Amino acid sequence: MIRFIKQENQLLLIYESDRDNGASWVAQKLKQEESVTLRRTFTFTPAELVGQPSSYDEDDDFESVFLLGVLDDGYYKISKDILGLKYDLLLDAELKVDRKTFIAHRDISIFRKVDELIDEPIIVGGDNADAIPLPDFEQLLKTFPTSTELTYYARVRITRVLKDYFGTMSDAESRLNRYLNRKQKLSAGSRESIVSNFELQKFEYVHAELDSMLKEVDGYSEKDWQTKILGLILFVFPKYVAVLETVHIKDFYTNTVKATDRYIDLMLVDANGSIDIIEVKKPFSNALVSRSTYRDNHTPRKDLAGSVMQAEKYLFHLNKWGHAGEQEIYNKRRDELPSGIELKITNPKAMILLGRDNDFEGQQRFDFEIIRRKYANMLDIMTYDDLLRRVANIIEMMKRKGSAGVTQ
């Protein structure tokens, strides 16, 4: 087992072996290979082996003590080589350090997993502007997948792949298809009634499918998630008749000498040919506003601020490109557009779909609404819970209308 103590300006890791030969295997490993890895997370060399801490007086044979970090300007600095990271790790001196700080189920290195997703130093707590606040870090540790969840996510991913080949469908898809197969058997009635019933079933399908997807987010790759969500969004916003992926546009402002190539991930085209853009991000918790406050305000998180900035720049470049841009995009993508349509860059708007708001606390919801309304003239910032609520409200209104029609 491992445990940690803070002694003077040092953070020490104490390893107590559960093997029959005590900790002697560690010394042998260090001597033979000049390094030893503990719990698939910590890799030490002989230079970090420091012996016994002064506060511990049990038999040396059963323990090895390693120098994990050194206190510097309010942070324990841990070498990137020990944890296998791209940069040194900084931990706030006030952080309570234990095994769960570093290691998740199945000996998964938490910081290595985080390091795989970013390309900057990991700083936890303290006053550094780029640090993960301690409450957010503690929330991350609580929500890190358990061994059971890891097995579940693996099964979900496999299921998603097999689904493309074996046709296995979710309950929501099955319900929609059963309805479509049954549609011709509807009792004689007005054409309007049949259309209304179909529309209701369509939105019930979208709601059920979206709700199901949000319960197994990790079962999807980023690309698969975008594709599936776009299909549902086109149900909810039927004015769009085409989706263009990876659309090349020109940026004439970053480099005044030569235009810079930019690429919009997803562009929407409505029935009149007007262009809008959409950003679809996988829903991660706490991706919208900070849990901690700055001068009593919850500020936008990097995911939200970055998505807004990116969308604003795309809209800016599209507007500046104007008619020439309309022609160039059309000439390159005409095969993906309905025949006879003319593209128009006329005050395009952006839709940003990201994050969850079901875990907002206190003032967070109010502050997020202020942020959202600030950009409402050009951006529609929508959470996945927003989308669920919108669809649920549509369903409720359609049912009310249907009930009123039956009463009459």
Instruction: Please indicate, yes or no, whether residues 164 and 87 belong to a single structural domain of this protein.
Output: no
Per-residue pLDDT at 148: 58
Per-residue pLDDT at 154: 54
Q: What are 240's strand-pairing partners?
A: 270
Determine the structural domain holding residue 257 and report its residue range: 150-407
Instruction: Please indicate, yes or no, whether residues 100 and 198 belong to a single structural domain of this protein.
Output: no
Amino acid in position 213: M
Please enumerate in sequence order all residues whose Cβ is within 8 A of that of 292, keeping only pairs 6 or more positions apart, or say none: 133, 135, 136, 298
Per-residue pLDDT at 284: 79
Instruction: Please indicate, yes or no, whether residues 205 and 346 belong to a single structural domain of this protein.
Output: yes
Amino acid in position 37: T
Q: pLDDT at residue 189 above 60?
A: no
Q: Which of 92, 110, 144 is the last residue of a domain?
A: 144
State pTM to two decimals: 0.59
Answer yes or no: are the C-beta atoms of 123 and 56 closer than 8 Å: no
Q: Determine the Cα–Cα distance for residues 277 and 270; give it in Å rounded to an integer.
A: 11
Per-residue pLDDT at 307: 92
123-164 residue pLDDT tens: 999 988 888 888 888 877 876 766 655 655 555 555 555 455
In this structure, of 83-97, 197-211, 352-366, the range with the lowest mean pLDDT score is 197-211
Q: Determine the Cα–Cα distance for residues 4 and 102; give it in Å rounded to an integer.
A: 11
Number of independent structural domains in the chain: 2
Instruction: Please indicate, yes or no, whether residues 395 and 249 belong to a single structural domain of this protein.
Output: yes
Q: Determine the Cα–Cα distance for residues 256 and 195; give it in Å rounded to an integer.
A: 54
Instruction: Please indicate, yes or no, whether residues 206 and 355 belong to a single structural domain of this protein.
Output: yes
Strand residue runs (E) in 225-320: 240-251, 260-270, 275-280
Place of tokens 């509807």: 186
- Per-residue CA distances from 71 to 12, 48, 98, 112 (Å): 11, 15, 17, 21
Q: How many CB atoms lie within 10 A of CB 227?
A: 14
Instruction: Please indicate, yes or no, whether residues 26 and 161 belong to a single structural domain of this protein.
Output: no
Per-residue pLDDT at 370: 93
| DSSP state letter for 65 | E
Per-residue pLDDT at 160: 53
Instruction: Please indicate, yes or no, whether residues 209 and 308 belong to a single structural domain of this protein.
Output: yes
Please enumerate in sequence order all residues whose Cβ is within 8 A of that of 224, keeping only pairs 6 or more positions apart, or say none: 160
Q: What are 243's strand-pairing partners?
A: 268
Instruction: Please indicate, yes or no, whether residues 159 and 42 belong to a single structural domain of this protein.
Output: no
Confidence of residue 179 (pLDDT cuts 50, 70, 90): low
Answer yes or no: are the C-beta atoms of 275 and 264 closer than 8 Å: no
Q: Which of 123, 144, 165 is the last residue of a domain?
A: 144
Q: Which of 93, 112, 144 is the last residue of a domain?
A: 144
Instruction: Please indicate, yes or no, whether residues 26 and 172 belong to a single structural domain of this protein.
Output: no
Answer yes or no: are the C-beta atoms of 128 and 122 closer than 8 Å: no
Per-residue pLDDT at 187: 47
The mean pLDDT of 331-355, rounded to a whole number, is 92
Instruction: Please indicate, yes or no, whether residues 165 and 138 belong to a single structural domain of this protein.
Output: no
The mean pLDDT of 369-397, rounded to a whole number, is 92
Instruction: Please indicate, yes or no, whether residues 326 and 291 belong to a single structural domain of this protein.
Output: yes
Q: Determine the Cα–Cα distance for residues 259 and 250; give it in Å rounded to an integer.
A: 6
Q: Determine the Cα–Cα distance for residues 387 and 213; give it in Å rounded to an integer.
A: 13
Per-residue pLDDT at 275: 95
| DSSP state letter for 146 | P
Confidence of residue 56 (pLDDT cuts 50, 70, 90): very low
% of the chain beyond a pLDDT of 70: 80
Confidence of residue 218 (pLDDT cuts 50, 70, 90): confident
- What burial class does residue 355 get, using C-beta atoms within 10 Å of its C-beta: 0-12 exposed, 13-18 middle, 19+ buried? buried
Phi, psi of 232 (to 5 degrees): -70, -40
Answer yes or no: are the C-beta atoms of 318 and 348 closer than 8 Å: yes
**Backbone torsion region of residue 185, taken as left when φ is above 0, otherwise alpha when ψ lies between -120 and 50, otherwise beta:** alpha
Answer yes or no: are the C-beta atoms of 293 and 136 closer than 8 Å: no
- The two tokens of residue 314 are 């795309």
Instruction: Please indicate, yes or no, whether residues 348 and 239 belong to a single structural domain of this protein.
Output: yes
DSSP, residue by residue, 306-344: HHHHHHHHHHHHHHHHHHHHHHHHHHHHGGGS-TT---B
